């Protein structure tokens, strides 16, 4: 079993929809939770990170962390075709130190 599980998708939604992307993890020592966006043939781009449990909002993006359930989410409001990309969750902390452990990514397509 992988330390971080993420549904690979693809997830296809109409423009304007609310998108929910999720990851589960097994290492309770993880403290930092990141979301990256990766366009095709590009490097991952950091969207936001959260420390420990709670919510964080940045524009149309909201990250949620539930450490008790070992479950994190990224919500995208008013999704746009330009949001079409692969979304990667990543985590670090505890004995893993500075190492980021990534999920396999969810491919999102937003239809105009």
Residues forming the site for other proteins (CB under 8 A) = 32, 34, 36, 38, 41-46, 49, 51, 86, 88, 90, 92, 97-100, 102, 104-105
Query: What is the smallest separation between the CB atom of 47 and other proteins, expressed in angstroms?
Result: 11
Residue 49 or 75: the one with the smaller Cβ distance to other proteins is 49
Residue 61 or 102: the one with the smaller Cβ distance to other proteins is 102
Question: What's the DSSP call for residue 26?
Answer: S
Query: What is the smallest separation between the CB atom of 32 and other proteins, expressed in angstroms?
Result: 4
Structure-block tokens of residue 27:
């290492």
Contact 45, 36 (CB under 8 A): yes
Query: What is the smallest separation between the CB atom of 22 and other proteins, expressed in angstroms?
Result: 17
CA dist., res. 8 & res. 71, Å (int):
16
Q: Classify residue 23 by burial, with Cβ atoms within 10 Å: 0-12, 13-18, 19+.
A: buried
């Amino acid at each position: 079993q992988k330390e971080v599980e993420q549904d690979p998708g693809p997830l296809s939604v109409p423009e304007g929809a609310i998108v929910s992307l999720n990851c589960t993890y097994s290492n309770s020592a993880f403290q930092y939770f990141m979301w990256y966006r990766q366009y095709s043939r590009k490097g991952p781009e950091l969207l936001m990170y959260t420390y420990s449990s709670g919510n964080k909002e940045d524009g149309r993006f909201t990250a949620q962390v539930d450490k008790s359930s070992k479950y994190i989410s990224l919500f995208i409001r008013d999704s746009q075709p330009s949001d079409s990309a692969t979304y990667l969750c990543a985590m670090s902390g505890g004995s893993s130190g500075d190492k980021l452990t990534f999920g396999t990514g969810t491919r999102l397509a937003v239809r105009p």
